[in-house]
Structure 1
């Protein structure tokens, strides 16, 4: 028999294994190609600095590359171990490890070549459908499908590197194994002792850590021990590994208190104890993968579905623009006339004057200075704007925010002051070098040379979720939170500031907002003396560039409906990207468990034959198999999915929108369970067909 005939016969014999290995590689190449084409697409490249489209695609591509490395490597190792008997036979018949290495090289080269061809072809063929689906998630933005040679080079290059790495591993693996090791490779199991007490302790620690983590983040406990956040996160990640290995042992201990239930499931529990201990590493890995998929897909889906709600929550006014001594200098009456002539109708219009003041916050014997300035309002202007009647005492303040947080913040003593440009640059440089910290000596020196207002922390009140302005933060201005001062204190600080730091924010609620916004843009652009190349499109952050043109673009009027469209584009891209990554994780979850469970068929045949001899009926055996495989398959998706939901809740627990996000994310978990049910039914059918004859 020639070497080529051995490879040919070996291929026919292991056809099903080769096909699955080939399918996984081909799928990953297709995904690499499609996302590679996105990252080099002109429409995506043009979005840099305006939205997060490019960053989202870049992150997704990195995720797919990492997933490709891990998953292809895992399937390669499993593929080798499941052929242990075959390699042992070859070695017994006189083959050398060099011959085995040559066989594996030829096989892998063939699989790689076929996967590259079909993967790239599939990616190019279905790329148009991929882009069609993407554009369904984007609003007023179309990404045109274009083939780019860089996409081919990227997908081929990444896969070739993975292939070379796996080939090196295969050579090392083959050289180190013996005949006995080869024959036993497919049956080696991670056998050990089940530590029920340790598992119970780990479960209790896990529950306590999950309870304490959000409270620590909200500073309800361990207020001055921020390192406890890392401790709890580490425990939440580590404890599941111990719990998984001991889970069935703990369940058995609990069920012993219910003899009837325990006896009716004794065989299932006994085999699951062995299986969970044997599968501990895989079940833990799949649980973490599922948790990651649940976290990212759940977050992206909830953000996409709730984009409009989130934007409107942060932007209570339909139109907004900033007036300074240099830009957008106008009168309220002129704006009203422009809106009316454009076909819009003003429902509410308020002009709110404010002063930008550098703010230092006391922290023990030092001060914290965040670069930028604090928005300062007078109580009279604030009351007229909000229709309230608050009274601020001298050297007191009301801190108002448009966003609503659960975390309670104890305001420290604050220093509001005017600094000339040279000193401002000096303090910014010192603050950046020292992690935003300014020494008390520097503060005292600086207070002696400048007008300053010191407000004690106990005199600062706080109100959250106040819709007094639209939230917006740029290099030129920052809106969303403000200190409201007594009129006398306000005028004291205002008199010390240059005109460029005294600004007005125009806030309008209108009907027929599209035409009103268009008319406002044309009017203010002409008023500023800008040509038609300015203010053509908005973006989420306002930053177009860091030159004079970029500064001018920052003063473009803000339109809430336009922000909603941009946010939908951003979140739509993120959600579409995460769908594919989540789908890859779900497929990986199902495929890994499928092959892991089927690898135990030979051993299970012996066990089930023995059970049949002692009188266990076929129906009972099928029921037992269904329970065993079901628990094995659904443990990662339920445990990992629940963990992903938990971390998602923790991340948004301080945002005030956790109920919205969690409600939407539950739908993602349900979809994941449905996919897992499909894999389970396929595996159960195959398993029963093989062992019950």
Structure 2
């Protein structure tokens, strides 16, 4: 048996230990390859470019950045996992050195083993990527709303890019990990398993600081949204506080809390709590960095997926503009009747029922838009809102615009001065009756709604070279199905060069946003799944890295009378904390983010948040039961 065969047999013998490391590596290669397929797919590029330059540019940038992100994170994950496995093998290296293996040979052995795992991961990852390429193209086709579809296509450039990138990655990882442990003495390597672990320590002040930082970070985020203090420095500081607080929570506060529980004798000496809490303190200290990384990355993935799901919802687009079509026309526009006829004719041919309303605005001296009550009520009834009434020309209401609705403005001036067209140029005063929450006029600012007879007496605002247009609004129930009609109308009614008329379709704007957010959703979901897989792998190899030590510990405890049922309960408690504590922290962090997103854009996030949490929790739960079953089965075989 030559040296390469020895290294290959080493990998086969430790296949259970390296299983998570290999599967995660192959999965990262597969996702990287799928990104490359999406990036180089000619049909995808062409259709995105046709729907919007911004979507095409941002989509391409997002795919490239995601590839870099996965590549960099894969480097640190593989370096961490390879280093952790080598530390477990100290005893094995010590025995091999006793049999005559030199440092150079040991480094060569580690290098060959890592390259074997790396090369097989690349082959399996690319093979799995090719196998699932059509499925991902179908999903992408649906998310990006591509009518022509995405044919099966595997760009050769994607294969070479993925293979070259990860071959370089595994080469660097193999070179670095082959140097681990070279300064250890022979005796230290052989007795590494027998070396007692130090008692976990934690500072009470750092534990308190963890809570202070988390609360301060949450508080700053709420102030950023509720106080309208839109400062990048404030938001960055808040995120920094939450990240640092999370790190201290796992490294200090968790250990301190367990030590505090151990001091409560009635709790500590109850049944198997002594074993649970004693071992838990060591596990929390040993896995603190892992918990921190898992919680932080998972929270980012949750926020990204939730935001993309919300932005792609048609209800969010409708909140900014409730009208399927908006046609803006100036009085000198000779094509107005023809264009309105085209819009209504296409809707009728498509089998859509619609209602049309119009509005013409005048302005007060301070720039506040003024509209007729009859125009307001016609549009309100078409949108399903209640009509408003005024007792006379002396009353008015304020229709909230986009800005006031976003800022949740509820106050209004009791008196507004408007200038009628009179000989003496006097001003008429109206008492503002109320502010409506219904979004009627698709304007950014508020609109003052007055009686028709008063509106007719108002003077026009005279600005050289400008005349106020008339806005025609079309209300269509299933407006998201009018995409084909909107495209046809957009071609037949192009915006005039002299600014006499403008045509806008909500379906076109929503479609562009949907494509862009679909690309963001693909990116965030795939990155989130990769991170989630890495997180699960961290837990897996941490468990099996300590497996030999746990076997000896449970064997000694079983001789003192630990039953199989108590062993199951003890292991379940420990695994539950390891699997679900980081997930719970990620849910808390992302939950705060979702609440503030809701407050910021006035759009419900609860449904998306629950869907994300339930999906990831079920995946984690399935993985938990699988690992628990294998772990307990292995322990029971050793103890029997």
Separation in 1 of the partners of 2:541 and 2:482? 62
Question: Please, which moves more after superposition, 206-215 or 74-83?
Answer: 206-215
Cα 1:11–1:274, aligned 2, differ >3 Å: closer, same or farther? closer
Instruction: Measure, in 1, the Cα distance between the counterparts of 2:130 and 2:334.
Output: 49
TM superposition shift of 1:162 = 1.3
Cα distance, 1:558 vs structure 2: 0.4
Taking structure 2 as the reference length, the TM-score comes to: 0.78
Q: Partners of 1:74 and 1:628 in 2: how far apart?
A: 22
Match of 2:35 in 1: 35
1:378 correspondence with 2:325: no
Separation in structure 1 between the aligned mates of residue 340 and residue 163 of structure 2, nearest angstrom: 63
Q: Could you say which residue in structure 2 is the equivalent of 1:72? A: 78
- Contact persistence 1:403–1:466 (CA under 8 A): no
CA distance in 1, matches of 2:544, 2:195: 14
1:549-588 matches, cutoff 5 A: 555-560=502-507, 563-564=509-510, 567-588=513-534
C-alpha contact (below 8 Å) 1:26/1:119 kept by paired residues: yes
| Residue among 317, 320, 329 paired with 1:314 | 320
Choose which of 140, 152, 157 in structure 2 pairs with 1:150: 157
2:358 alignment partner, SS class: strand
Q: Which residue of 1 aligns with 2:225?
A: 218
Instruction: Name the structure 1 match of 2:419.
Output: none
What SS class does the counterpart of residue 494 from structure 1 fall into?
A: coil
Cα 1:146/1:678, change in 2 over 3 Å: same
Verify the 8 A CA contact 2:324 2:506 in the aligned structure 1.
yes
Encode CA deviations 1:445-466: one digit per residue, 9 max, x unaligned.
xxxxxxxxxxxxxx99996854
**What number of residue pairs does the alignment pair up?**
596
Q: Any idea what SS the aligned residue of 1:126 has?
A: helix
CA 340–44 in structure 1, closer or farther in 2 if over 3 Å, else same: closer
Change in CA separation of 1:320 and 1:249 when aligned onto 2, cut-off 3 Å: same
Q: Does structure 1 residue 133 correspond to structure 2 residue 139?
A: yes
- Of 246, 266, 279 in structure 1, the residue corresponding to residue 274 of structure 2 is 266
Q: Name 1:456's counterpart in structure 2.
A: none
> Is contact 1:469-1:507 (8 Å) kept?
no
Q: Quick one: distance in 2 between partners of 1:682 and 1:469?
A: 56
Q: Compared with structure 1, are the counterparts of its residues 505 and 71 closer, same or farther at alpha carbon in structure 2 (3 Å cutoff)? A: farther
Displacement of 1:101 after TM fit?
2.4
Q: Spell out the pairing of 1:340-351 with structure 2 (5 A cutoff).
A: 342=349, 347-351=354-358
- The offset of 1:398, in angstroms, is 7.8
Q: Deviations over 1:375-403 (max 9, x none)?
A: x633448757666578999xx99862278
Correspondences of 1:52-63 after superposition (within 5 Å): 53-63=59-69
User: CA contact under 8 A between 2:93 and 2:189: conserved in structure 1?
Assistant: yes
Indicate whether 1:495 and 2:440 are aligned. Answer: no
Uncovered stretches (5+) of structure 2, i.e. residues with no partner:
381-386, 413-430
What are the equivalent positions in structure 2 for 1:421-432 lying under 5 Å apart? none
Q: 1:238 maps to which residue?
A: 244
Q: Go from structure 1 to structure 2 and tell me whether the alpha carbon gap of 1:23 and 1:343 turns closer, same or farther (over 3 Å shift).
A: closer
Residue number in structure 1 paired with 2:114: 108
Q: Structure 1 residue 323 and structure 2 residue 269: aligned?
A: no
Matching of residues 116-515 of structure 1 within 5 Å: 116-141=122-147, 142-173=149-180, 175-179=182-186, 182-183=189-190, 191=198, 193-195=200-202, 197-198=204-205, 201-202=208-209, 204-206=211-213, 208-209=215-216, 212-220=219-227, 228-245=234-251, 246-247=253-254, 249-250=256-257, 253=260, 259=266, 263-264=270-271, 265-304=273-312, 307-323=313-329, 329-331=335-337, 334=341, 338=345, 342=349, 347-353=354-360, 377-380=369-372, 400-401=401-402, 404-405=405-406, 465-470=437-442, 479-481=443-445, 494-499=461-466, 502-510=468-476
Taking a change above 3 Å as real, the CA distance of residues 157 and 347 of structure 1, as seen in their structure-2 partners, is same
Within 2, Cα distance between the matches of 1:521 and 1:622?
Answer: 63
Structure 1: unaligned runs, 5 residues or longer: 360-373, 412-458, 471-478, 531-547
CA contact (8 A) 1:403 1:465 kept: no
